[in-house]
Each structure stands twice: as C-alpha cells, then as structure tokens.
Amino acid sequence: MAHAERHVTVGDRGRVVLPAAVRAELGLVPGARMLLSTEADGSVRLRPYRAVADRNRGLLAELLGADRSLADELAEERRREAAREDEEQR
C-alpha cells in the first residue's frame, strides 16, 4: 500500500469519516475494529486490528525462530506440563 495523506474533518461529535477509497484499500467494513494511538509528536495513528495482529505475529515468529510456530511452542509447553504432573503424582 502506498503512503497517502487525505484531509478529513472532525465532526461535532468527535467523528472522523475515512474516505471510501481508504476503506476499500484497507478492506474496512462497517464495524471493523481499529486501534487508535496518540503519538509523542501530537499525531494520531489509526490501524486495523488485523494489521496490529499481523505485525505481532511477525514479531513472535522472530522470537520463536522461523522453524517454530506458536502452536508448536504451545504444544511442547503442554507436553512438559503433563509430564511434570505425571511425575508429581508418582
């Protein structure tokens, strides 16, 4: 997606309308959840939850390593817990 700036106006009830072209480009539909962040420089950043989740999944993949998925990591943790519980019951 190319960087673009659009002029919008804050309405009397604090609402900002995203232009139709922006909504279409981002795949936003009515009811889409967004994360609003205020930045140190006084600007506002608005991101679809999907974009935030995708970014976080990427960061998690980096931490786990490319050859390990979060599901694999969770399954391994559950196996260790089950083995530990078995040992405690003996």
What tens digit of pLDDT does each residue of 12-57 get?
999 999 999 999 988 889 998 888 999 999 999 888 887 766 666 6
* Burial (Cβ within 10 Å: 0-12, 13-18, ≥19) of residue 31: exposed
* Alpha-carbon gap, residue 36 to 69, rounded angstroms: 29
Q: Is residue 6 part of a domain?
A: no
Whether residue 1 lies inside any domain: the answer is no
In a domain, 20, yes or no: no
User: Model pTM greater than 0.75?
Assistant: no
Is 42 a domain residue?
yes
72-85: per-residue pLDDT in tens?
A: 778 888 888 888 88
Strand ranges (E), 1-90: 34-38, 44-48
Q: Domain range for residue 38?
A: 30-89
Number of domains composing the chain: 1
Residue 9 counted as domain residue = no
Residue 4 lies in a domain: no
